[in-house]
Amino acid sequence: MNKNKLLIIILTIIICIIITQPSFAKSKLKTKLSNFFQKIEKKLDKESSNSASQTVNIKPQKVSVPVIVASTTKKLNLEDFGLLPQNQIKIKKIFSQRMQKCFDTENEKYYNCQGFTTDGEYFYVVLLNKDKELYKHTKILKIRISDLKIVKQQDLGQIGHSNSLTYNPRTKKIYVAPLWKEWKCFYEFDTKLENLREVKMYNIDGSIIKDQQIRSVTYLPSSNQYIVKFREILLGYFDSEFKLVKIIKLKKSMGMSTTQALSTDGQNLFSVTNDFQENPPRINSSQILVYDKDGNYIDKYEFDRQLGVDAELEQVEFSHGKCYGLVRCSGNFIIYEFSLRKEVDSLGNKK
């Protein structure tokens, strides 16, 4: 029974007793009741004080997240997913800009490009300050697709290597995977290149990705989820609030010597990787590894000299049925258009 209810019952009984007593006895009862209630009041005050001084430590609950090993006994082919084989794809250069020429200032030199995404109307490209204070400054370029003009550039400060970008049409925000040191978060900004803020992950305690570095993030519209690449064989699937819901362990690695961005066109996953040679330092080739949405490996596209000598493919992104790729080559950042999917007519027939 509630303590307050018990006190009310006792008080009611006492009042009834007082009313039935003769007047000479009422005075003695009043004195005794006064002493009784003073004792109760002191006891309650003491209990309240003790309760207030106690610190309650609530441990965060560890959420059990399923770990799924990607595997299939069926031989998967690109054509089964509406994708063209290597010998049928077409590549077209649509934009090229020399980084040093456009973005040199007295103190800053933006020589490197990294993350890349599109909202269907604009391209968004990350350029990095590649001086001795590497990654101290990150610049975002906004390029209008219709006429390929740079309409805005914004310095977002220190947000790491910015290895990949992804656009969420529901939130109309762009998300950055920093890939730098011990950072275990994402960054988010709007399409005006403003309102930068940190976004944290949840439900990762106790999971195999807890201490893993975020390498890439891509948004999957069909399930309203973010897919995050940690190592070359670990993918984390997060809901719209960045709560981890499952982990997929790949059988086929997503990287060669250099791992780049993970992207999706809503049907498949595409992981960019490069074959990097140390002596002398150069990129021998770039690859796009193709998986289904469950992390099962399908096939790859490989580019040797088609993108340029020592060209480094950073990320591919998709919009309106087209695939675009960001390439760093000899001080330039270049955007290519790739025809990876089979073209269809208005009736859905393959051309």
Secondary structure of the chain in HEC code, one letter for each residue: CCHHHHHHHHHHHHHHHHHHCCHHHHHHHHHHHHHHHHHHHHHHHHHHHHHHHCCCCCCCCCCCCCEEECCCCCCCCHHHHCECCHHHCCEEEEEEEEHHHHHCCCCCCEEEEEEEEECCCEEEEEEEECCCCCCCCEEEEEEECCCCEEEEEEEEECCCCCCEEEEECCCCEEEEECCCCCCCEEEEEECCCCCCEEEECECCCCCCCCCCCCCEEEEECCCCEEEEECCCCEEEEECCCCEEEEEEECCCCCCCCEEEEEEECCCEEEEEEEEEECCCCEEEEEEEEEEECCCCEEEEEEECCCCCCCCEEEEEEEECCEEEEEEEECCEEEEEEECCECCECCCCCEC
Assign 58 a pLDDT band (cuts: 50, 70, 90). Answer: very low
pLDDT-above-70 percentage for the chain: 70
Q: What is the pLDDT of residue 22?
A: 59
Is residue 40 pLDDT above 70, yes or no? Answer: no
Q: What average pLDDT is seen over the chain?
A: 79
Q: What is the pLDDT of residue 346?
A: 43
Q: What is the pLDDT of residue 19?
A: 57
Domains of the chain, earliest start first? 74-338 (2.120.10.30)
Is residue 78 pLDDT above 80, yes or no? Answer: yes
The residue ranking higher by pLDDT, 185 or 134, is 185
Assign 231 a pLDDT band (cuts: 50, 70, 90). Answer: confident
Q: What is the pLDDT of residue 240?
A: 93
- The mean-pLDDT minimum among 64-73, 130-139, 183-192 falls in 130-139
Q: What are 20-34's pLDDT values in tens digits?
A: 655 555 555 556 656
- The mean-pLDDT minimum among 211-215, 216-220, 290-294 falls in 211-215
Q: What is the pLDDT of residue 128?
A: 80
Please state, in angstroms and as integers, the Cα–Cα distance from residue 234 to each residue in 123, 209, 279, 306, following that order: 28, 8, 30, 30
Residue 82's CB: how many other CB atoms inside 10 A? Answer: 14
Q: What is the pLDDT of residue 285?
A: 82
Assign 43 a pLDDT band (cuts: 50, 70, 90). Answer: low
The residue ranking higher by pLDDT, 268 or 259, is 268
**Closest-CA residue to 85 (of 343, 341, 348):** 341
Alpha-carbon distance of 132 to 117, in angstroms, equals 27
pTM: 0.77
Q: What are 301-325's pLDDT values in tens digits?
A: 998 878 887 788 999 999 988 999 9
Tell me what the mean pLDDT of segment 63-77 comes to.
79
Q: What is the pLDDT of residue 88?
A: 94
Assign 347 a pLDDT band (cuts: 50, 70, 90). Answer: very low
Assign 202 a pLDDT band (cuts: 50, 70, 90). Answer: confident
Is residue 351 pLDDT above 60, yes or no? Answer: no
The string over 165-196, giving b where at least 16 C-beta atoms fall within 10 Å of a residue's C-beta and e elsewhere, is bbbbeeeebbbbbbbbeebebbbbbeeebeeb
Is residue 161 pLDDT above 60, yes or no? Answer: yes
Alpha-carbon distance of 230 to 225, in angstroms, equals 16
